[in-house]
Structure 1
């Protein structure tokens, strides 16, 4: 008998293959270095991998165009088979149990589509399920977009949508309505009476309004678990788990918002959370590790004045020394990133710990190694939350590590192609600056003044060195959104491009917060603006008024040149020749590019240097990346 494939089977197979390709792309874009014997083999492997990524991405784009886009764009009610396959796709792309996130933006769009469909139907279970998914996805987006410190409206939009869904869902806590629900829907509503507090999370540890809102929300959740009505109406609900998680959430608030007032409000909950864990370790260790509960409680005790700085730091460092560098569960993130970050932040509060500079080197080195060796399936977004706080709170230690070094090493660990891109742009910038100084030194008068140097030949090397390091740091804002940079498997959605457009402003803010890099901040902020300021981003930056305008224009050309000619780190680009890019500069001279770019790129000596950089030096940088990663 002939085996016929139904339309549902075909769609299911195509979507399953989409997921499989996304997983494969994650592995290909950041390959393990184990088994690679020669540094030159690393560049060859990446070139091969990104060529394969290009093929896989094209296949995924066809799936989106032929199957997913029609569903997203249709205003018709969805049939049950379509709902089932889309739900399954979402579950496969985001697995909360295994902390995997393969394509959150796509899941969000699909969930929005299903929610619209559910709200138009009378199926209560379907509606509640989709409200639940909307809340969860909004939380994931809040967690991701809160790292974009320069545009709070982005995270606010997801918070608002999540809270709207939460408000609709919690209406079913009305006791008459609650009794009309199925058992599964009752459990979803009860879970969100606790989980909804996550929608108020933020990156600003001084936002005590958010902290107090979370506390009040969870106090309501405590009232619910103590109400006999709900316990009788949902006897099979895991009330033990719910209670512990409520107190754990309360503890997390005290941990995230380090103030004496918040610590005193949450200390009793942290104590009770520890008591619960110790009352039944066999059960609660399946929920949270003892080290997680202990570490958060320690910080609250210190902030509340119960522990001295010395005692807190001693116990915190002891926890850190017991870390498992191969544990990538939530406890592993705490032990390898969160707790060492706290140690670095508070070590200056104690004279003895302040002197232990070797611990600083160890913490930064081990954190970078931990991030680099992290499994590639989808844990990156989870790790970036604490890691972004480490970058924001980073303190420079002369002779140990600078912010420039930390940023570069972070790129190497998180996304090697961006490390190479940063070094390539720096090398191209150094080349262009040297030749332009010889051709048109008057263009650098404002730069000489900014650096407080005489506008003479003796200052050229200092200007070239400054331009090189400014270019090294030009993309540091991408560190906060590196999970979006990781998207190779399809074209970017508008929401993702909106995030990427924030990276110059985020980089400006990061660089401005450190004495050694604040002088480069304008270059990071302006490197995506056109020469005439008419287009690009951010448009609220008057690039023409910057004393570093000449350097910004050079970095802009260098950035575009590397992107255009790179065939290794960009699956969507086969790599143009230098001559191809020169034509682009000619066409955009005076608008996108500085007018002097045409003359500079036509100069024979400049071209010879650039040809070397774009060929042999790029391969050398991948070999350098291999050696750096081998040391982690």
Structure 2
């Protein structure tokens, strides 16, 4: 029989399969624990799943190499069929209606390619559509990269690109130009007269310049909805929705920037938002839930001095108690993460609520449980915005929860393989530190001094314990970019690796914020730097000057050892043997690895302990992970 499959059909099928595999990989990398009867079965399931992920990822890499890369690298104008299949792929990988985000970086690259093509053509609808997509994707990237607090230039680059696209798009608000547009393009331009304000979002609640810029932008949007010209030119545009969303955006600004000045500037709009919602609840509940409107307005009222701290906290906690732990819409995130976070931040402003410490444990426990049970298919990036604020604003409560505990539990809930990796690196570090202290105690003189301990045998246990906990925390910076860590379906793009390289600096900043973990901060910052400081990241950290240089070098070896020998969480390779890794250390001794690493790994007692850790103990940790997740 004659094969009637066209090149377009083949490409479409390959790209559809790419999307299906990305969905499958998400499920395989974070399997449901329900139905698993024994803790030992969890490790077996993950090993099996990641073997399958490796096969799926290789298939995806071929699709990128054979189909996507040639499109991205071509300087030719694109034909209509290619444009159609790329648009469809982007829509399938990012579905804003269902809050799905399967591969934002790939969508961004494809959108950039389409935008370049559109700007070279005279098709106005095509150009406006691609400018719209560019703005939306830049917003998504701003939302992702603003969590990387250590390198503002990353988020600034996406903001600049988004604002350039927005500037071009809003030129069509010129009344003469506006009348030349199709109905669809008019609607896109009007929508962005409001939506463009999102490009000014940031994670720093003290950046009031951004808040004022957003307010002025939205005031212009209000002028547009009140202008009869635009209403007459776009009679089928949903003006009712547009007005509500403008007021809601204004409310969000007051909610995000906790200052009396910003609250007073946005309180009127928060009132308008509530009044509109109550005037037509059947319509507006399809836009936003009452609890969303209510909770944000409460905070603005408190910041503006309209509500007392006690009244605000009472009403906020009442909203929290009505949460639905299975709701993963925007209201669900507010009720389960945002509002309890605000409660924790402001509870110290009221003497009565300050005493209710039992609520603290409840809030953190329920938030972790909510994140763990979240469908991982595409919601992770959405959840990380409020969750990253929770980590940044985290306050330790001795006897209730520490930042180390919060970080570890967060890894378990968000990405179990990284939880196991953290514990493995800690166990390997403890083993290496113990044996190295026996072999070469002089290497630890600066560590003894840093810990204010005598350099005697009696201090060894304290140094070993310190090294263990420092290693537990070494990857905490990854919590802010866990959605990038989740990328298993293909090789990382340069933009993603740029984010990955920030995690030591982000971890340093997070750990430095808490009294119990700031002593470990240098270890987090330096664990990806080579022994001789010539390579790795961040290169602006003089690792040789750190009093914890010996611990950093140990954690670096432990980190690489676990990564090299593990088969879970690393779809791009099969785990090596300890002997294979030992050869790697020998080859890199004095440059990448500390020269004493060769002697240490050759020691028979050290090897016996390591062989146990890399086999039985790793399986024990997956069983431990299962028990921890079962408790969430």
TM-score, normalised with respect to structure 2: 1.00
What are the Cα deviations for residues 503-542 of structure 1, in whole angstroms up to 9, with x where unaligned?
A: 0000000000000000000000000000000000000000
In the TM superposition, residue 148 of structure 1 has moved relative to its aligned partner by: 0.1
Worse overlay, 564-573 or 254-263: 564-573
What are the Cα deviations for residues 598-622 of structure 1, in whole angstroms up to 9, with x where unaligned?
A: 0000000000000000000000000
Cα distance between partner residues in 1 of 2:124 and 2:272: 37
Cα distance between partner residues in 1 of 2:96 and 2:360: 33
Equivalent residues in 2 for 1:588-627 (5 A)?
588-627=588-627
Cα distance between partner residues in 2 of 1:573 and 1:28: 17
In the TM superposition, residue 89 of structure 1 has moved relative to its aligned partner by: 0.1
Cα distance between partner residues in 1 of 2:52 and 2:372: 22
Cα distance between partner residues in 2 of 1:357 and 1:399: 10
In the TM superposition, residue 176 of structure 1 has moved relative to its aligned partner by: 0.1
In the TM superposition, residue 572 of structure 1 has moved relative to its aligned partner by: 1.2
Cα distance between partner residues in 2 of 1:260 and 1:66: 56
In the TM superposition, residue 3 of structure 1 has moved relative to its aligned partner by: 5.1
In the TM superposition, residue 348 of structure 1 has moved relative to its aligned partner by: 0.2
What are the Cα deviations for residues 531-563 of structure 1, in whole angstroms up to 9, with x where unaligned?
A: 000000000000000000000000000000000
Cα distance between partner residues in 1 of 2:35 and 2:545: 51
What are the Cα deviations for residues 34-63 of structure 1, in whole angstroms up to 9, with x where unaligned?
A: 000000000000000000000000000000
Cα distance between partner residues in 2 of 1:19 and 1:356: 47
Match of 1:289 in 2: 289
Cα distance between partner residues in 2 of 1:462 and 1:96: 51
Worse overlay, 2-11 or 435-444: 2-11
Cα distance between partner residues in 1 of 2:357 and 2:58: 49
Cα distance between partner residues in 2 of 1:227 and 1:346: 41
Cα distance between partner residues in 1 of 2:360 and 2:298: 20
What are the Cα deviations for residues 286-337 of structure 1, in whole angstroms up to 9, with x where unaligned?
A: 0000000000000000000000000000000000000000000000000000
**Runs of at least 5 residues in structure 1 that lack an aligned partner in the other structure:** none
Cα distance between partner residues in 2 of 1:335 and 1:176: 45
What are the Cα deviations for residues 52-82 of structure 1, in whole angstroms up to 9, with x where unaligned?
A: 0000000000000000000000000000000
What are the Cα deviations for residues 64-111 of structure 1, in whole angstroms up to 9, with x where unaligned?
A: 000000000000000000000000000000000000000000000000
The answer to whether 1:21 aligns with 2:21 is yes
In the TM superposition, residue 568 of structure 1 has moved relative to its aligned partner by: 1.9
Cα distance between partner residues in 1 of 2:102 and 2:544: 41
Cα distance between partner residues in 2 of 1:392 and 1:225: 38
Cα distance between partner residues in 1 of 2:243 and 2:91: 26
User: What secondary structure is seen at the aligned counterpart in 1 of 2:78?
Assistant: coil
User: What secondary structure is seen at the aligned counterpart in 2 of 1:149?
Assistant: coil
Match of 2:419 in 1: 419
Q: Would you identify which runs of 4 or more consecutive aligned residues in structure 1 move more than 3 Å?
A: none
User: What secondary structure is seen at the aligned counterpart in 1 of 2:292?
Assistant: helix
In the TM superposition, residue 340 of structure 1 has moved relative to its aligned partner by: 0.2
Cα distance between partner residues in 1 of 2:2 and 2:182: 41
In the TM superposition, residue 376 of structure 1 has moved relative to its aligned partner by: 1.4
In the TM superposition, residue 9 of structure 1 has moved relative to its aligned partner by: 0.4
What are the Cα deviations for residues 467-491 of structure 1, in whole angstroms up to 9, with x where unaligned?
A: 0000000000000000000000000
Match of 1:334 in 2: 334
Cα distance between partner residues in 2 of 1:74 and 1:272: 50
Cα distance between partner residues in 1 of 2:532 and 2:297: 54
User: What secondary structure is seen at the aligned counterpart in 2 of 1:629?
Assistant: helix
Match of 1:347 in 2: 347
The answer to whether 1:209 aligns with 2:222 is no
What are the Cα deviations for residues 254-306 of structure 1, in whole angstroms up to 9, with x where unaligned?
A: 00000000000000000010000000000000000000000000000000000
Cα distance between partner residues in 2 of 1:6 and 1:291: 51
Cα distance between partner residues in 1 of 2:282 and 2:375: 27
Match of 2:70 in 1: 70
User: What secondary structure is seen at the aligned counterpart in 2 of 1:150?
Assistant: coil
Cα distance between partner residues in 2 of 1:22 and 1:162: 27
Cα distance between partner residues in 1 of 2:101 and 2:335: 21
In the TM superposition, residue 569 of structure 1 has moved relative to its aligned partner by: 2.1
Cα distance between partner residues in 1 of 2:354 and 2:416: 33
In the TM superposition, residue 571 of structure 1 has moved relative to its aligned partner by: 1.3
Match of 2:238 in 1: 238
Match of 1:262 in 2: 262
Cα distance between partner residues in 1 of 2:99 and 2:41: 32
What are the Cα deviations for residues 93-141 of structure 1, in whole angstroms up to 9, with x where unaligned?
A: 0000000000000000000000000000000000000000000000000
In the TM superposition, residue 573 of structure 1 has moved relative to its aligned partner by: 1.6
In the TM superposition, residue 161 of structure 1 has moved relative to its aligned partner by: 0.1
Match of 1:522 in 2: 522
Match of 1:433 in 2: 433
Cα distance between partner residues in 1 of 2:304 and 2:217: 22
What are the Cα deviations for residues 180-223 of structure 1, in whole angstroms up to 9, with x where unaligned?
A: 00000000000000000000000000000000000000000000
Cα distance between partner residues in 2 of 1:308 and 1:549: 50
User: What secondary structure is seen at the aligned counterpart in 2 of 1:452?
Assistant: coil
**Runs of at least 5 residues in structure 2 that lack an aligned partner in the other structure:** none
Match of 1:34 in 2: 34
Cα distance between partner residues in 2 of 1:568 and 1:174: 56
Cα distance between partner residues in 1 of 2:2 and 2:466: 71
In the TM superposition, residue 397 of structure 1 has moved relative to its aligned partner by: 0.2
In the TM superposition, residue 567 of structure 1 has moved relative to its aligned partner by: 1.0
In the TM superposition, residue 2 of structure 1 has moved relative to its aligned partner by: 4.0
In the TM superposition, residue 570 of structure 1 has moved relative to its aligned partner by: 1.2
